Amino acid sequence: MTLIKDGKDLVDLPVIECLSDTSRLLSDIHRDESIIRRSLVASNINPTLKEAVSQTTCNEWLFGEKLDEILFT
């Protein structure tokens, strides 16, 4: 933010924009890969567990942090 306020080194602004766009692309690719991996794993799961697994959310872990609790309840 100081680059914009001071008006100095505005040459760096395109570099920052490029880095921002690149990080958005990487984030989108990671999300798409996670969705594909979830669907591949879910297609090979026992049908009785498939519904419970499909209701989990993808976060740090592919099927959520508390998958073991969901499956064993």
3-state secondary structure at position 46: coil
Q: What is the pLDDT of residue 1?
A: 47
pTM summary value: 0.67
Mean pLDDT estimate for the chain: 84
Distance, in Å, from the CA atom of 1 to the CA atom of 56, rounded to the nearest integer, reads: 39
65: which DSSP letter? T
7: which DSSP letter? -
Q: What is the pLDDT of residue 18?
A: 94
Half-sphere exposure of 52 (CA within 13 A, CB side): 13
Q: What is the pLDDT of residue 8?
A: 60
Distance, in Å, from the CA atom of 66 to the CA atom of 53, rounded to the nearest integer, reads: 11
- Residues 40-59 have a mean pLDDT of 86
Where are the alpha helices (H) located in the chain, listed in sequence order? 2-6, 12-42, 47-54, 67-71
